[in-house]
Amino acid sequence: MTTGRFIALEGGEGVGKSTQVRALAEALRQRGIDVVVTREPGGSEGAERIRELLLKGSEDRWGARAEALLFAAARTDHVEKTIRPALARGQWVLSDRFIDSSLAYQGGAGGLEIDAVRAINAFGIGDSFPDRTLILVHHEGGARARARDAEGSDRIGGRSDDYHRAVNAGFRAVAEAEADRVMLVDASGSPENVTKRLLAALEDFL
């Protein structure tokens, strides 16, 4: 039986993550791999309902703790309904964000501490962490996000530059602490070259 792999693509605002999820999925399919593409928050019926609660409304709609718990609840349903079944079928799962976003956004930038947010999520998902998390980094990500969201952004993407700098620091802290699972990938240059870097970071699985 083909062994399924669970890959998460992460990064701060404006790094080209969603573009690369599509490109990486296509590149893997060209290698004969059956890929399920999913996203967070979301990826299952229940989690998509929670996504609406998380991303819509005013900035003060949720406090940091409630926000972290909502993400964890959505993630639990996502794992149970989508991710584990796909892996059991031998498929690869490629998720546009997963737990490391919570560690960086709510744990690092939100001030809840990375280990506390990890513990909240571990209760819900057990050992269903990605086989590899690839974090895209780009020094112009903030400026690119502002241009992209000139007509409005969701309640998390629209937070201050200081918040998003703290998010990037959180991602780097996670990568440093879990170097066996998490890798930083340069997101500068052409989209095609970024996709090649992502594939290189998965070479031991291919």
DSSP 187: -
Q: What is the mean pLDDT of the chain?
A: 90
Over residues 134-145, mean pLDDT: 69
- Residue 37 pLDDT > 90, yes or no? yes
Task: Name, in order, each residue with C-beta under 8 angstroms of 65's C-beta and a sequence gap of 6 or more.
Answer: 112
Burial class of residue 92 (count of CB atoms within 10 Å of its CB; 0-12, 13-18, 19+) = buried
- pLDDT at 146 exceeding the cut of 60: no
Q: Where residue 58 falls among pLDDT bands split at 50, 70, 90?
A: confident
Give dist(CA 54, CA 68) in Å, integer.
Answer: 10
Domains parsed from the chain with CATH numbers: 6-205 (3.40.50.300)
Give the β-pairing of 6-11 and 92-96. parallel
pTM for this model (two decimals): 0.89
The DSSP string of 106-145 is IIIITSS-HHHHHHHHHHHHTT---SEEEEEE-TTHHHHH
